Structure 1
Amino acid sequence: MTTVETDAERLVGETDEPGWEVDPDDEWGLAVIATVGRQLRLRREAAGLRAADFAKALGYGEDLIYKIEGGKRIPRPEYLDKADEVLGAGGLLAAMKEDVKKVRYPKQVRDLAQMEARAVELGVYVGLSIHGLLQTPEHARALFEARQPPYTEDEVERMVAARMARKAIFERSPSPALSFVLEEALLRRRVGGTMVWRRQLEHLLEVAQLRNVTFQVMPTETDAHPGVDGKIEVLKFGDGTAVGRSEGAFNGRPTSDPKQLRILELRYGIIRAQALTPGESVAFIEQVLGET
């Protein structure tokens, strides 16, 4: 299997993110968390502490202790810090935070973030929710909290952190060329309430000012366009390869096939041509903000 094919298979939707529990399909992550859990258990037993006593000393439930030691739950950094202190491990347990950090986010999100970190160009059209790279933490949290069945607070916190970590793409040097087209309706939906919504719009205006970002709005009054079937996303890499996906083409599966990529690029180009210009888009968001 080629690298491009692997990347294509890993391109996933932002709604596919699992929760706080260890991803059962992440073999490497499972191994890391199992090793961390085993070390915690051995240290606890060597200190002569029962799980119940250890839980009390840490301020967590006994069930969580067993899950972490059994490699079924990812420990937070503060958990490892506290465990190191209680067990007198001299920093050895706290040092495992670096290993845990590598698997703290869901595998699918890590794969997506790795692809975004490699991309020299990224083009996205979305019609259902503001793209994850453009979301504020408060906006992302409101979206996750609206899911049904509901996520736990731990799951929401982990997914918000994972989504915000992907925004490192804006700090890369050299900067990748980023292009976004969002439907007007997304900008008018007051996700999280008026204050969260206003801050989200202000953030979009800030991002739109970046020299490597092209931001456009698709007016609701616009005629039908190639994006009405769903999200389109195309990532291009420095070695000349690319991967893309469209919810309305190729059964929604990621593709690295040159012919299919040309179709996606054609559709995205038409969408950009029908959308407001970047300058008009900024003026439109300012207008929406001024209406409140």
Structure 2
Amino acid sequence: MTNSTANEPEPSDSLKTFGLVHKAFRKRAGLTQEEFAPLVRYQPGTVASIEQGRRLPPRVYVERAEEVSDAFGVLRAAAKYATRQPGLASWFRRWADLEEQAISLYTFENRLVPGLLQTVAYARTLFNARVPVLTDAQIEAQLTARAERQRLLTERPNTGYNFIIDEQVIKRGTGGREVTLELVSHLLAVSELRNVELQLLPVTCSVHAGLDGPIRLSETPENEWFGYCEGQRTGQFIADPESISVLHMRYAKLRSQALTPDDSRSLLQRTLGAL
């Protein structure tokens, strides 16, 4: 059985709603939490946390609960809207939930290092520079949420990650020399993971397929693709097949225009030596 109730977030409205729906179907099935837990192969404490809205239900849990409760697909549908990260912008949470399920994740960035690859010092520099100014509590919430997302790189080794980062993002030196040293070292370490490909788009590539801005693409276990594009204070979730096709074409072109993973590592090592 699985049990993980440590470091649980404060309840969100969507999690509390899922918990209430879950509880209603469990009771309809005539089961106590103690009786329900072994049927879904989780601990009673986990069941309680989910019903209290204090834990995001894992995908496998939802599927088992759906079957045990004979919930007519309601639990599966409700789980799609359950989000937990209080440190994430509301318009980003749906994408963050997809990240947790993705079997393939593609990210192109020409503004900053993607959140999944940031060090704490680099992220803190970004949050400290945010306008309007964030409070210390807000910054810590943002850092906690970012760390929660970053665990995916190691906890989902079967997910394939490809990152394309504009070299200028590294050359900018955000946070100063020490922060950049740590960041480049971290990028080199992450690039050694078997499920991670890291490519740099060199500054010598004056025209490329990503001039319209960042691109994010995610493939679900059901082999559905979704996209996400982010602006100043908004994010656009993309499900339209035609738009997804365009993003795929642009991303494929970017992969051919960027340095290979090996050449990208060499460039990072030279950058590290020059700092």
1:258 maps to 241
Higher relative contact order (CA 8 A, sep 6+): 1
After TM superposition, the score normalised by the length of structure 2 is 0.67
State the number of aligned residues: 204
After TM superposition, the score normalised by the length of structure 1 is 0.63
Q: Which one of 74, 86, 104 corresponds to residue 105 of structure 1?
A: 86
Q: Which one of 151, 156, 168 corresponds to residue 139 of structure 2?
A: 156
Secondary structure of the corresponding residue to residue 254 of structure 1:
strand
What is the rounded CA distance, in whole Å, between the counterparts of 1:276 and 1:156 in structure 2?
A: 34
1:116 aligns to 2:99 (yes or no)? yes
Taking only the aligned residue pairs, the percentage that are identical comes to 30
- Displacement of 1:138 after TM fit? 1.2
2:183 maps to 200
Matched to 1:214, the amino acid is: E
1:27 aligns to 2:13 (yes or no)? yes
Secondary structure of the corresponding residue to residue 238 of structure 2:
coil
8 A contact 1:246–1:264 mirrored in 2: no
Distance 1:157 1:247, change over 3 A: closer
Matched to 1:28, the amino acid is: S
Distance 1:240 1:104, change over 3 A: closer
Matched to 1:187, the amino acid is: I
Distance 1:190 1:173, change over 3 A: closer
- Displacement of 1:265 after TM fit? 0.5
Distance 1:175 1:279, change over 3 A: same
Secondary structure of the corresponding residue to residue 144 of structure 1:
helix
Matched to 2:248, the amino acid is: E
What is the rounded CA distance, in whole Å, between the counterparts of 1:219 and 1:276 in structure 2?
A: 7
1:284 aligns to 2:242 (yes or no)? no
- Displacement of 1:194 after TM fit? 1.4
1:12-49 deviation digits (Å, cap 9, x = unpaired): xxxxxxxxxx99xx6336889xxxxxxxxxxxxxxxxx
2:166 maps to 183
Matched to 2:14, the amino acid is: W
- Displacement of 1:150 after TM fit? 0.8
What is the rounded CA distance, in whole Å, between the counterparts of 1:279 and 1:229 in structure 2?
A: 27
1:198-221 deviation digits (Å, cap 9, x = unpaired): 101100001111111111000111
162-171 or 128-137, which deviates more: 162-171
- Displacement of 1:240 after TM fit? 1.6
What is the rounded CA distance, in whole Å, between the counterparts of 1:113 and 1:171 in structure 2?
A: 16
Secondary structure of the corresponding residue to residue 253 of structure 1:
strand
Matched to 2:184, the amino acid is: L
Matched to 1:191, the amino acid is: T
Matched to 2:217, the amino acid is: V
Distance 1:146 1:258, change over 3 A: same
- Displacement of 1:254 after TM fit? 2.1
2:210 maps to 227
Matched to 1:113, the amino acid is: A
- Displacement of 1:111 after TM fit? 3.2
8 A contact 1:229–1:247 mirrored in 2: no
1:88-99 aligned at under 5 Å gives the runs none
Of structures 1 and 2, the larger Rg is shown by 1
1:129-172 deviation digits (Å, cap 9, x = unpaired): 10000001111111010111110010001001101100121123
